[in-house]
Structure 1
């Protein structure tokens, strides 16, 4: 896109942090290079809808009410879902044409169906990013409309074999920049830097299982060696007051804490895996077994293969065993990976090359 001094871009992605934060990282990278105008199709009431206007300056937000396909995909209930998608596609097509963007960038999720299809109908170049090791249904189905498909794991290429050579590009998963130091984070928590900071996070939706097992662990801790920053999400939890635990339902800047932590216990969401790898923070991954195609397990295996942690299946977790593993990762040396190119910068570069 040589010679341009501004770019109009349409973006969308599912309403979870796994879709949202990589998108924010790419937008931030673009803003450093060019004047940007953004039309964001958000999932009404979800995380992206709540935070887009805070995180993106002068964004034009368009909330959509879109439902995902029921499992199994051949369920009769999907007839109405598909019909709603068609109506939404027509609405998006008209709105998108009025905005007159240069391109569309999507990070997947079911909201991307009407957005990407509308873009293809009016001839806009489409770029997709897949965060997980096993691509989601949306990106697999919509890849044929894309000019380029960016992947976070080299192994994901196998799932796009029907896409012509050169369109699938390994970039990694974009991660937000860290603005605070370890001292600043520890000072904000009111704790000494000699203590071990452990992050507990069940994803942007929270995890009943992680909340319960951690309460068992907290009940047995007798010293102040650890300090736990525990993100409970929307899941129900009967919290108890411990001097070494700080609870939060949600923290939009959790990456700042992960970057300086001594260890993380989490589900296997793609953004969590990317942040642990990028910051070199060791983790214990307890994948959610009901994730589509068990992708959280395979995401976690990627981290384990990097030497950055352990994967433990939920049915194998005990409070004693988990505490022992937390102790192991918190005393291990940080393993900073040699990341040659920043994923967000790489993707931004490809988008700016679009004529």
Structure 2
């Protein structure tokens, strides 16, 4: 039985804790969710947060009242095979180490909690230098690169999938519940009322397409092609479509031109209304989305992002489908032509 997410911080008096994550809502939102719960329970006195300067990071953190002190560090994206960008990256890494050192030394957190993202590496390194305990929470089945790098330095490792334990044989990882927003189920409403509020029709099947915090062009294109190749679907189906920023204008034009009942938006941190309206969800397989959908019992076709050397979404999707085969169906990116039969 997983421990509750509150077990991430076991204290007898309120603590100062530094959370770190960046470049993805999948890293940042669980940190903020956990911090809100713990602060509300008087387990935290002060919440620090270190992120990157990415626009999404700023949008999620800057106006979040739970966060008392925020450092938006100067760390550049890791250049991988682009050797010409390594000097710029190294300079930014050294600068970020100095920023983190000053931030942590000034605010004196009693622990650092990382939920992923490369920004966690300089924070954890400077934390260890200052004698601050580091705790890692791996939110996917297969650990990300950051978790693998930092695991030897970690005082504790937490996981949300039982399958993840095998990756940390020397750390005795602790299984916990995924840190879901407590408001998720509280904000769910009657489906017909949700459809009415959105401005869609009560007599059509409603599909909610979720591409993750930054959207998915692959998933967006698959949905557009589905309607292009099967125009009769527009009489049966309506769409709530989280496109990400780059495809939003195209989606609005496409749905209007083809007379398809739809609501498209780039990102929303308050998606309970859309969950409430949905008969079926088509989603990427980020851990946060998977656990939210699981908790709501909604039927889901999951299309995991597959990148050479990084298939964590595929493992998330397969784990969910194995546990709940009547709720989750996995469709690989090479099998998107199957969508029509599954809808």
**TM-score over 0.5 (shorter chain):** yes
Distance 1:247 1:125 in 2: 43
Structure 1 unaligned regions, length at least 5: 327-355
Aligned residue among 184, 188, 193 for 1:181: 188
Alignment pair present for 1:146 and 2:151: no
Residue in structure 2 matched with residue 96 of structure 1 by the alignment: 104
Cα distance in structure 1, aligned partners of 2:239 and 2:312: 27
Partner of 1:309: 328
Deviation at 1:96, TM superposition (A): 0.9
TM-score by length of 1: 0.81
Partner residue in 2 for 1:349: none
The Cα of 1:71 is off from its aligned counterpart by 3.5
Quote the offset at 1:146 in angstroms: 1.8
Note the C-alpha offset of 1:172: 3.4
Counterparts of 2:272 and 2:307, CA distance in 1:
25
Name 2:5's counterpart in structure 1. none
Cα distance change of structure 1 residues 109 and 223 upon mapping to structure 2, 3 Å threshold: closer
Q: Where does structure 2 lack aligned partners over 5 or more consecutive residues?
A: 1-9
Does the residue aligned with 1:69 lie in a helix, a strand or coil? coil
Q: 1:276 to 1:3 in 2, by over 3 A?
A: closer
Higher relative contact order (CA 8 A, sep 6+): 1
8 Å Cα contact 1:14-1:43 kept in structure 2? yes
**Paired residues for 1:233-272 under 5 Å:** 233-236=244-247, 238-239=250-251, 240=254, 241=256, 242-258=259-275, 261-272=278-289
Report the counterpart of residue 232 of structure 1 in structure 2: 243
Alpha-carbon distance, 1:316 to partner: 1.7
Equivalent-residue separation in structure 1 for 2:118 and 2:244 (angstroms): 22
CA distance in 2, matches of 1:316, 1:243: 24
- CA 1:102 to 1:256, structure 2 compared with 1: closer, same or farther past 3 Å? farther
Q: 2:131 aligns with which of 107, 111, 123?
A: 123
CA RMSD after TM alignment: 2.5
Q: Deviations over 1:72-103 (max 9, x none)?
A: 69x68556534532331122112211111222
Residue 114 (structure 1) shift: 0.7
Answer yes or no: is the 8 Å Cα contact 1:53–1:59 preserved in 2. no
Aligned to 1:158: 166
Q: Residues 31 and 221 (structure 1 numbering): CA distance in 2 closer, same or farther, change over 3 Å?
A: farther
How many residue pairs end up in the alignment?
319
Instruction: Give the CA deviation at 1:292.
Output: 4.8
Q: Are 1:136 and 1:292, in contact at CA under 8 Å, matched by a contact in 2?
A: no
Q: Matched residues in 1 for 2:159 and 2:153: separation?
A: 16
Is 2:212 the partner of 1:203?
yes
Post-superposition shift, 1:224? Answer: 4.7
Structure 2 vs 1, CA of residues 256 and 20 (structure 1 numbering), >3 Å: closer, same or farther? Answer: farther
2:18–2:111 Cα contact (<8 Å) kept: yes
Give the corresponding residue for 1:7.
15
80-89 vs 104-113, which moves further: 80-89
Deviation at 1:248, TM superposition (A): 0.4
Q: Secondary structure at the match of 2:46?
A: strand
Counting only pairs closer than 5 Å after superposition, residues 24-103 of structure 1 correspond to structure 2 as: 24-34=32-42, 36-57=45-66, 59-71=68-80, 78=86, 81-82=89-90, 84-103=92-111
Which has the larger displacement, 76-85 or 58-67?
76-85
Evaluate the alpha carbon distance shift between residue 224 and residue 181 of structure 1 in structure 2; reply closer, same or farther with a 3 A threshold. Answer: farther
Distance 2:32 2:246 in 1: 25
Please state how far the C-alpha of 1:68 moved relative to its aligned partner: 4.2
Would the alpha carbon gap of residues 159 and 200 (structure 1) be closer, same or farther in structure 2, given more than 3 Å must change?
same
- Which residue, 170, 174, 179 being the options, matches 2:175? 170
- Distance in 1, matches of 2:265 and 2:329, equals 25
Q: Secondary structure at the match of 2:311?
A: helix
Residue of structure 1 aligned with 2:290, choices 245, 265, 273: 273
Partner of 1:330: none
Task: Determine if contact 1:270/1:299 at 8 Å carries over to the other structure.
Answer: yes
Answer whether contact 1:259 1:276 (CA < 8 A) is retained: no
